[in-house]
Amino acid sequence: MCIAGGRQSVRKIELFERELAETPIQMLSGEYGHNRFFMKRDDSIPFCFGGNKVRKAAAFYRDIRKTDTDVIMTYGSNSSNHCRIIANMAAAMGLACHVISPEENRERLYNTGLVERFGAVIETCPVTEVAETIERRKAAYRAEGRSPYFIVGGGHGYHGTDSYVKAYREIERQEQRAGLHFDYIFHASGTGATQAGLVCGQLLAGDEQRKIVGISIARDAARGRNVVKDSIREYLAADFDRLYREDRLLFEDGYRLGGYGRYTEEVERMIERVMAREGIPMDTTYVGKAFYGMTAYLQSRGIKDKNILFIHTGGAPLYFDRLAKE
């Protein structure tokens, strides 16, 4: 097993060796509707500008450490927070990193620059050829006697889901300590692993007293729900039929605002307001868009006097992309 320069030389990341520390939950100062608003700061996880992709990466890290991996492969766009964190993780472990990325949009954003800086190989291909490019590259590495570990784009998969089951339990512990109960949990839903993990956490806890609402940033409800549901099925396995309930899966597609990466002036205004009032940066693709979507969702349904938790899922470099363009 132990080839020179292989398994033995893999470096540890101390932060990922055990469970990540709890991220803070803070009450917001400003008024965002007739409810009490709290924010869980997953953007403050202390690795590579934080975010939900760090929770997921830490779960994959522990799996990779059990293998003889010498190259980590993944997939993502030029703006991908996931690719930034995986490339940083690979560099920290002393492993090679190979990122497959669609060639359609090559604008060099902060996340693109960081991935390059961590020494990852970025291979571009037409978005329609991604699946075969990944398979071809994996086979090529194996033919060279290398041992690739592939992480699905966005950190999707069992480990990604598991990391947010743990985050759900973390929220429950924080509620108990604070003597508080969140009636709603909102977050940006993309590939759906974050939502799948939170919903599994809720189903396993048997907690009927709250709603978890994923604000879709791209997918329509039909596709989005199916992907989240598949991840829930994969995670709960034999317990799926007993535990799953259709009404626990709230995937809201009314605030996609034209699709992935699109946003409106209302989103921009909300971002400015939260930055000025709370000192918390949000981006237009995920967090700012979902925060805006949450306020519109609550208002349109006349929801009042509830405790609302919003999970800030990260994306700090995207905040600066927008700032740099002004």
CA-to-CA distance for 261 and 257, rounded, in angstroms? 9
From the CB of 42, what's the least distance to ligand PLP, in Å? Answer: 9
What does the alpha-carbon distance between residue 44 and residue 95 come to, in Å, rounded to a whole number? Answer: 25
Is residue 288 near ligand PLP by the rule CB under 6 A? no
Residue selected from 191, 202, 231, 295 as contacting ligand PLP according to rule CB under 6 A:
191
Inter-residue contact 54 to 20 (CB < 8 Å)? yes
Query: Minimum Å distance from CB 132 to ligand PLP?
Result: 23
Contacts (CB under 6 A) with ligand PLP, residues 296-325 = 313-315
Is 167 a binder of ligand PLP (CB under 6 A)?
no
# chain residues binding ligand PLP, by CB under 6 A: 18
For position 92 contacting ligand PLP by CB under 6 A, the verdict is no
> What's the rounded Cα separation, in Å, for the pair 60 and 158?
9
**DSSP per-residue letters across 54-65:** HHHHHHHHHHHT
Q: In angstroms, what is the minimal distance from the CB of 188 to ligand PLP?
A: 4
Q: Which two tokens stand for residue 62?
A: 């522990």
Q: Which residues of 288-316 are buried (b: 16+ CB within 10 A; e: fewer)?
A: bbbbbbbbbbbeeeebeebbbbbbbbbbb
In the complex, the smallest distance separating the C-beta of residue 230 from ligand PLP, rounded to whole angstroms, is 13
Distance of closest approach, residue 136 Cβ to ligand PLP, in angstroms: 25
Q: Single out the residue of 76, 148, 157, 192 in contact with ligand PLP (rule: CB under 6 A).
A: 192
The two structure tokens encoding residue 304: 């009042």
Of residues 118 through 157, those in contact with ligand PLP by CB under 6 A are 154
Question: Is residue 219 within the footprint of ligand PLP (CB under 6 A)?
Answer: no
Q: Render 185-224 in DSSP notation, one character per residue.
A: EEEEESSSHHHHHHHHHHHHHT--S-EEEEEESS--HHHH
Q: Which residues of the chain form contacts with ligand PLP (CB under 6 A)?
A: 51-53, 81, 154, 188-195, 286-287, 313-315
